[in-house]
């Protein structure tokens, strides 16, 4: 297994992996508004996974849905390396990865460029002082609104009850359309949505092996 530094070096050579950080904000991001035309070479819907880690969910969804394009986003290059390398080795043309902070996400995509967002097992930031860092805080939702289509859907999967309930409160307070939610996905998963439980991230596998309940929320910003 390559070292962390070796992974960083190899990432620079991957044609399906890109990066964007604070010092590049003044120049802008070359792929903003051009993900389909420049990377995927098609007009298929684009789905983001925020905090993708090793990219298990991004890869899993891409393998099941060749009619869509998928981009995994994470700040940890050594994690992204796993998913990006797997996609290249398996010739998954509908997969890309972006290494950046979610704080900068609205700099990377143009208005109406994204059709869906997945937030899979993010850090729940349980301390009240860190509420602004929760990925369903209104500060982040307003960033997503800049590039998510009006009909676009946000999916959240978490093991954390506090984060689940917090997100439901935010949805209610902001009068956002709530499509469906459950505090026990593995007991209540609809028959036509089995991919919600068959595709698992590393952390989901860890949590379910310990018998923890998985929570799921599906909502819109419009």
Q: Active-site residue numbers?
A: 123
3-state secondary structure of 201: coil
Q: Are 213 and 159 within 8 A, CB to CB?
A: yes
Question: What is the secondary structure of 53-112 as a DSSP string?
Answer: TT-HHHHHHHHH-TTSEEEEEES-HHHHHHHHHHHHHTT-TTEEEEES-GGGGGGTS-TT
d(CA 95, CA 92): 6
Helix or strand (DSSP H, E) at 163: helix 161-173
Are 117 and 152 contacting, i.e. CB atoms less than 8 angstroms apart?
A: yes
- Tell me how far apart the alpha carbons of residues 52 and 138 are, in angstroms, rounded to a whole number: 21
Q: Give the C-alpha separation, 179 to 171, whole Å.
A: 11
User: Computed from CA positions of residues 128, 129, 135, 141, in that sequence, does the dihedral angle turn out positive or negative?
Assistant: positive
Strands 178-182 and 215-220: antiparallel
Residue with tokens 């070359």: 30
């Amino acid at each position: 297994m390559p070292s962390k530094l070796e992974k960083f070096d190899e990432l620079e050579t991957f044609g399906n992996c890109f990066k964007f950080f604070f010092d590049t904000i003044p120049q802008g991001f070359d792929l903003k508004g051009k993900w389909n035309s420049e990377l995927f070479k098609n007009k298929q819907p684009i789905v983001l996974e925020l905090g993708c880690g090793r990219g298990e969910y991004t890869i899993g969804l891409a393998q099941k849905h060749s009619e869509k394009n998928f981009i995994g986003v994470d700040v940890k290059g050594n994690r992204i390396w796993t998913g990006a390398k797997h996609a290249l080795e398996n010739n998954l043309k509908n997969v890309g990865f972006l290494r950046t902070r979610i704080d900068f996400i609205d700099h990377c995509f143009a208005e109406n460029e994204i059709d869906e967002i997945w937030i899979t097992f993010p850090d729940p930031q349980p301390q009240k002082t860190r509420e602004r860092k929760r990925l369903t805080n209104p500060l982040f939702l307003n960033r997503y609104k800049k590039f998510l289509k009006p009909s676009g859907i946000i999916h959240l999967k978490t093991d954390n009850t506090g984060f689940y309930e917090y997100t439901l409160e935010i949805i209610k307070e902001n009068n956002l359309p709530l499509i469906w939610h459950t505090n026990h996905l593995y007991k209540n998963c609809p028959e036509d949505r089995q991919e919600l439980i068959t595709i698992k991230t590393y952390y989901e596998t860890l949590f379910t092996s310990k018998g923890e309940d998985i929570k799921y929320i599906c909502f819109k910003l419009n």
